Amino acid sequence: MKGIGERLGREWLICDGGTGTFLQERGLSGGELPETWNLLHPDIVGELNRKCFEAGADIVNTNTFGANRLKFGDKLEQIVTAAVDIAKKARHDAGRDNDAYVALDIGPTGKLLEPMGDLSFDSAVEIFSEIVKIGAGAGADLVLIETMSDGYESKAALLAAKENCDLPVIVTNVYDNNGRLLTGGTVETTVAMLEGLGADAVGVNCGLGPLQMIPIVKRLINCASVPVVVNPNAGLPQMFEGKTYFDVGPEEFLRYMEEIAAMGVQVCGGCCGTTPDHIRLLADNIKKRPFVPQTQKDICMVTSYSQGVEIGKKTVIIGERINPTGKKRFKQALRENDIDYILNEGLRQEDQGAHILDVNVGLPEINEPEMMEKVVKALQGVTTLPLQIDTTDITALERAMRIYNGKPMINSVNGKQEVIDSVMPLVAKYGGVLVALVLDEDGIPNNAEDRIRIAKKIYEAADKYGIPRKDIVIDGLCMTISSDTSSAAVTLETLRRVRDELHGNTILGVSNISFGLPARELINSNFLTMAMQNGLSCAIMNPGNEPMMQAYYSTNALLDKDEQCMDFIGRYQSYVPFSKLGEVKADTGAAQTAADEKSQASGGAVAEAVRRGMKEGAAEETKKALKTRPSLEIIDNELIPALDDVGKGFEKGKVFLPQLLMSADAAKAAFEVIKSSMQGSEQNIKAKVILATVKGDIHDIGKNIVKVMMENYGYKVIDLGKDVPPEVIVETAIKEDIKLVGLSALMTTTVVSMEETIKLLREKKPDCKVAVGGAVMTQEYADAIGADFYGKDAMATVRYADSLFGA
Amino acid sequence: MIRPERCEINRYLGYRSITPDDTVNSLIDECISEAEKVIRPAYAVKYLDVCAVDEDILKIGGLVVHSHGLYRNMEHCQTTAMFAATIGHGVDMLIRRAEIGSLLKASVLQAVGAAYVEALCDEVNEDIKRKAEEKGCSCAARFSPGYGDLSLELQKDFERILSMRQQLGITLTDSLLMVPSKSVTAFVGIRKGKCSTAETAVNKCKDCDLYRDCSYSKEVRQ
């Protein structure tokens, strides 16, 4: 018989209907796991499968929706194998051995992935891999991943299927009325990611009835290049006497499905509440309708878990600041594992208007793959912007692409065969938009003709690796005009020819053009305008550079890429012209002097800013103070006394938590300024301490408050984060010879992990003191689990540390 | 749109007898407006039969629950509503972002999120109460897994019975915490006939193990 791969997308295929509803009618109770019936009642499961095959379904799912290790442990193999056997026998009994297929059905794990939940991406892939291996081994014809409400989990399942079998894989997701996944992804971002990962068909199932699905189906058809699958419920769920039921009957269901079929989908079937009768009507009628295959879409999209950025319409700004090149403070952050500093660089660029963030964490003395994975994970926990993974380390690249939640941009490949052969296989496997530098074994061509030749070579290589040409973005290469004044012209010609002759997208690291010149932003901003006019699709630049942003918004307005000039007006309606800039500055100058005098009077501007919780003020004043005074003196005479004042007020109940935190934030900002100025020189620390939220606990704001306070008071904090196993805490304590560990727990249930950690510490590192705190902690609890100290708040913990290590 | 009382947000921030100053107040405003953009309230309710089997043991639907606290709360009830409510993932994301730059903002967002989900629960609770009273019944104070000695293990039953994952997008971690963090599960016991207001008055505080030194208590103590 023809394999499903030969028919999918070339002719109508019909999927089966709901499983749960059928089994419940046959006596499956609310608390029972449906998959257990593969062993307990194989006859009933087989009857359902057979009825679906007989009704005309070409693809029938195995009863394995919830079959995974988390629910079935060692029994998994037996349950999945039985399900495939039952379906194959049902197909035989229905006489459809030659024209119907058994799909290994895979549903969600039931757990939410990190960073929102507590299941790691790698564990999710392992869980799915196990199911795929068993199901494919038992003889399923395809894999159907369905009812996924989290894009990240869909990726884990699809990757597992692709890595562990050669069968075609269909992925259908659950969208809400607005076409969004539970975790935020849209139809377009989800399709972009799944196609990049090699899904053989994509679609929608469950959650909605056919009527509500129509707008989603429209969007699917408009963005997908692979076949589209639509499996709705029999309407929206209704409640009667505590039971859920669906009320769209077979005829009504067919009416909507005919409308959906006419829109141009390729596979349809049903989900919850649909019966073999629904499927029979569907199969009988849909197959008579004209079949339209999906068309290839020329959409180049980079996505995060929730946002898509389309390349090729309006020039996209890629923030370049997450990069250690030429930045001492950034290098220090990398060496010290200071992830927050890096995240802050990301969030700042987001606020400044970047659309995508470039991520480069390469430094010879650090483990780049580890750092890249850590930073990408952390960034996608806090920003909705897509990322551009920027590295020459292939291991780092693969690790980042694997755990990336979306379709990333990859920086970069070039015309060198060796680089093509190492980078392109990864892009072919994981999907991504690939930046291609037009240089090769002979270096960088000094003319556009040769650059275009290399671009063509890269496109051809992409064809060979199965990477769609739309996913290649050509870097026209920016060389400084200070060494060759013709270089800008060559770059611009390259951009223009890629656009006009190759119909491709382009990218530039814009500010390279002015290297070695004074007033670089003048050259950069003007060059950006010229590049945009020559078709530049993506500008890698610093969104914090105002002249460049001015050029960006002005050029968009001039090129008719800013509807009604709304973006331009929004940004510059209160713009102050150059000629008037002097007056304004003079005004604030006077006010500033007055403020300076005032704060001088109340004893130290830095101290005053910290006391009043003024973050920017504290940073500014510290910068000023550093010009005339040594940093240690500022810490001892201003920062610490100010913090102490506020801390004492808090202890006495005169200052409330918000004020304490405001001052802590302000002090942190001041310390950050001092830290930048002290690079290289030894910093005074009282002691190194570990802070961690114990295993099982995933909320850590309390611990973070303690961290900032401790750092402000001169402690070096090793922050192990949240959900930390006892072993990790103990190992770190031994390795770093730590004398004080602070543990936080939020729930009574996780106090147990706290107790375990303390026991293990006592055994392996007896000279280490333990302070505990957290929402449920009390002195009694602390005593009962053998802690040395109960910190009722952050100040109390600081005081305790000072009593151990000297104030 | 649900809207919590401003004083509730203040209370979660540790203010009881006094009000925050202008700086904190304007930050609270900012956090409320950011939060309101991302809050997606959702809830599910189901009704189950209750009977007291023995001292401190209740049968609720098919569940047998051992708990002194819940027993005292529901021993006279014949049915109970069980509900789950959430304001979605958005506020968790805002908190994670804020934590990088400003602890104060992160704390205010925590307080705002907590106040919103509590306000949502009050609304759901009110609805349950109204329906009960229409039938001549009255309600006990709502009681959540984790209150007193009521085991968090019950979260798994809530998850299953209310289809929390599919219906509301609430999942459980291995340690039975809910994600999104601003989510609540609870029982609201229902008994036939009226009972004195004293009996049904919400006093979550007095029954709590942390009554003595809780900084969030609604009572102002010296």
| Pairing assessment for the beta strands B137-139 and B183-192 based on DSSP bridges | antiparallel
Indicate yes or no: CB of A749 within 8 angstroms of CB of B210: no
Q: Where residue A723 falls among pLDDT bands split at 50, 70, 90?
A: confident
Question: Are residues A117 and B102, on separate chains, in Cβ contact within 8 Å?
Answer: no
B220 contacts chain A (CB < 8 A): no
CB < 8 Å from B in window 753-772 of A: none
Res. A741: pLDDT tops 50: yes
Q: What is the pLDDT of residue A636?
A: 81
Kindly tell me if the per-residue pLDDT of B106 is higher than 60. Answer: yes
What confidence score (pLDDT) does residue A714 get? 86
CB A760 within 8 A of CB A787: no
CB contacts, 8 Å: B62 with chain A: 30-31
Rounded-to-integer distance, Cα B35 and Cα A645, Å: 33
Q: Which of A202, A242, A208 is nearest to A225 (CA)?
A: A202
- A:397-436 residues touching chain B, CB 8 A cutoff: none
Kindly give, in sequence order, each residue whose CB lies less than 8 Å from that of residue B184, ignoring residues fewer than 6 positions away.
B84, B85, B86, B117, B118, B120, B121, B144
Please report, as a single letter, which amino acid is at residue B121: C
Residue of A nearest to B18 (CA): A656
To the nearest whole Å, the CA of A116 is away from the closest chain B CA by: 7
Of A343, A704, A778, the CB nearest to B103: A704
Quote the pLDDT of residue A109.
95
> In this structure, are strands A505-509 and A472-475 parallel, antiparallel, or unpaired?
parallel
**In the predicted structure, residue A602 carries a pLDDT above the cut 50:** no
Rounded Cα distance, A44 and A631, in Å: 78
Nearest to A792 by CA among A755, A744, A752: A744
Chain A residue with the nearest C-alpha to that of B92: A116
Mean pLDDT taken over chain B: 87
Residue A293, classified by CB atoms within 10 Å of its CB into exposed (0-12), middle (13-18) or buried (19+), is: exposed
pLDDT above 50: residue A589: no
From the list A389, A384, A379, the residue with the least C-alpha distance to A343 is: A379
A806 shares contact with chain B (CB less than 8 Å): no
Q: CA separation (Å) from B188 to A237, B54, B70, B117? A: 24, 20, 10, 16
Residue A167 φ then ψ, to 5°:
-75, 155
8 Å CB contact of A662 and B96: no
- Chain B residues with CB under 8 Å of A304 CB are none
Please determine, for residue A590, whether its predicted confidence score (pLDDT) is greater than 70.
no
pLDDT of residue A593: 46
Of residues B116 and B100, more confidently modeled: B116
Facing B110 at nearest CB: one of A183, A701, A747: A701
- For residue B179, the chain A residues in CB contact (below 8 A) are 112, 116-118, 698
Least confident of A93-97, A260-264, A641-645, B181-185: A641-645
Q: Could you tell me if B60 and B143 are in contact, meaning their C-beta atoms sit under 8 angstroms apart?
A: no
Confidence of residue B208 (pLDDT cuts 50, 70, 90): low
| Structure confidence at residue A585 (pLDDT) | 52
Q: Does B45 touch chain A (CB under 8 A)?
A: no
On whether any CB of chain A is under 8 Å from the CB of B171, the answer is yes
**What's CA B127's distance to the chain center, in Å?**
15
Domains and CATH numbers, chain B: 41-98+116-197+204-209 (3.40.109.40)
Supply the DSSP string of A228-246, one letter for each residue: EEEE--SSSEEEETTEEEE
DSSP collapsed to 3 states, A387-407:
EEEECCCHHHHHHHHHHCCCC
Looking at the predicted structure, is the pLDDT value of residue A242 above 90? no
Question: Quick one: pLDDT at residue B204?
Answer: 55
Is it true that A4-286 and A688-805 share their CATH fold? no
Average pLDDT, chain A: 92
Q: How far apart are CA A727 and CA A327, in angstroms?
A: 36
- Ordered DSSP codes for B206-218: TTSTTGGG-TT-S
Confirm or reject contact between B193 and chain A (CB < 8 A): no
For residue B72, which of B149, B154, B170 has the smallest C-alpha distance?
B149
- Burial of A76-89, coded b for 16+ CB within 10 Å and e otherwise, reads bbebbbbbbbbbbe
pLDDT for the residue A595: 44
What's the pLDDT at A400? Answer: 98
- What's the confidence (pLDDT) of residue A537? 98
Residue A722 predicted with pLDDT over 90: no
Model confidence over A121-169: pLDDT tens digits?
Answer: 999 999 999 999 999 999 999 999 999 999 999 999 999 999 999 999 9
Interface of A with B in 322-341 (CB under 8 A): 340
- Verify whether the Cβ–Cβ distance A661 to B161 is below 8 Å: no
Closest residue to B177, CB basis, from A110, A708, A747: A747
Listed by number, the residues of chain B in 80-109 with a beta carbon closer than 8 Å to a beta carbon of chain A are 89, 92-93, 95-97, 99-104, 106-108
Let me know: does B217 contact B205? Beta carbons within 8 Å.
Answer: yes
Look at residues A91, A174, A89, A164 and name the one whose alpha carbon lies nearest to residue A131.
A164
B165 chain-A contacts, CB cut-off 8 A: 108, 110
Residue B216 has pLDDT above 80, yes or no: no
- CA B67 to each of CA B2, B61, B64, B149, B176: distance values in angstroms, whole numbers, following the listed order: 32, 16, 10, 6, 18
Closest partner residue to B175 (CB to CB) among A111, A382, A749 is A749
Q: What is the pLDDT of residue A683?
A: 65
Q: Which two tokens stand for residue B126?
A: 């009110």
Mean pLDDT of B10-14: 84
If you average pLDDT over residues B76-98, what whole number do you get? 94
User: CA A220 to CA A260: how far, in whole Å?
Assistant: 11
Query: What is the distance between the alpha carbons of residues A540 and A534, in angstroms, rounded to a whole number?
Result: 16
Residue written as tokens 């007896």?
A: A766
Q: Half-sphere exposure (CA, 13 Å, Cβ side) for A768? A: 29
Alpha carbons within 13 A on the beta-carbon side of A18: 23
Which residues fall within 8 angstroms of residue A721, CB to CB, at 6 or more apart?
A692, A693, A700
CA of A125 vs chain B CAs: smallest distance (Å) = 18
For A646-703, write each residue's pLDDT tens digit.
888 887 877 777 888 888 888 888 888 887 887 655 567 889 999 999 988 776 778 8
Q: pLDDT at position A493, please?
A: 98
Q: Bigger pLDDT: A408 or A339?
A: A408
Answer whether CATH 1.10.1240.10 is correct for domain A591-677: yes
pLDDT at B11: 85
Q: Nearest residue on chain A to B27, judged by CA atoms?
A: A658
A683 Rama sector, left if φ>0, alpha if ψ -120 to 50, beta otherwise? beta
Using alpha carbons, select from A192, A190, A161, A156 the residue that is nearest to residue A173.
A190
CATH number, domain A688-805 = 3.40.50.280
Q: Among B175, B183, B220, B222, which would you mutate to test the A interface (most chain A Cβ atoms within 10 Å of its Cβ)?
A: B175
Is residue B133 scored above 70 in pLDDT? yes
CA distance A378 to A342: 9
A445-458 pLDDT, tens digit per residue, is 999 999 999 999 99
Asked if residue A237 has pLDDT above 90, the reply is: no
Shortest distance between the Cα of A50 and any Cα of chain B, in A, equals: 28
**CA A581/CA B26 separation, integer angstroms:** 30
Q: What is the pLDDT of residues A469-516, one digit of tens each?
A: 999 999 999 999 998 999 999 999 999 999 999 999 999 999 999 999
Q: SS in 3 state form for A505-546?
A: EEEEEHHHHHCCCCCHHHHHHHHHHHHHHCCCCEEEECCCCH
The partner residue sitting opposite B47, judged by closest CB among A242, A696, A705, is A242
CA atoms within 13 A on the CB side of A20: 19
Q: Does the CB of B30 have a partner CB in chain A at under 8 Å?
A: no
B103: nearest CB among A381, A661, A748: A661
- Nearest by CB to residue B100, choosing from A118, A343, A792, is A343
In the sheet with B137-139, reading across from the earlier edge strand, the strands are B63-66, B57-60, B42-54, B79-86, B183-192, B137-139
Confidence bin at A51 (pLDDT 50/70/90) = very high
Please state, for a pLDDT cut of 70, what percent of chain B lies above it: 86
Which residues of chain B make contact with A657, given a CB cutoff of 8 A?
Answer: 13-14, 107
Candidates A657, A748, A776; nearest CB to B14: A657
In this prediction, residue B130 carries a pLDDT of 94
| Span A369-388, pLDDT tens digits | 999 999 999 999 899 999 99
Res B129: pLDDT: 94
Mean pLDDT of A99-110: 97
Question: Hey, where are the domains in chain A?
Answer: 4-286, 591-677, 688-805
> Distance (Å, rounded) from C-alpha A49 to C-alpha A369?
47
Given a contact cutoff of 8 angstroms between Cβ atoms, the answer to whether B75 and B20 are in contact is: no
Which one of A108, A344, A665 has the shortest CB-CB distance to B103? Answer: A665
Residue range B185-207, pLDDT digits in tens: 999 999 998 765 545 555 556 66
From chain A, pick out residues whose CB is under 8 angstroms from the CB of B99: 701, 704
pLDDT band at A594 (very low <50, low <70, confident <90, very high): very low
Q: Which CATH class is domain A4-286?
A: alpha beta
How large is the average pLDDT for residues A91-104? 97
Determine contact, residues A665/A712, Cβ cutoff 8 Å.
Answer: no
Pick A627 or A750 by higher pLDDT.
Answer: A627
Between chain A and chain B, the number of residue pairs with CB atoms below 8 A apart is 123
> What is the reported pLDDT for A807?
63
Q: Which residues of B touch A792 (CB under 8 A)?
A: 213
Chain A residues within an 8 Å CB radius of B97 = 347, 382-383
B7 touches chain A (CB under 8 A): no
3-state DSSP assignment of residue A771:
strand
Q: Does B136 touch chain A (CB under 8 A)?
A: no
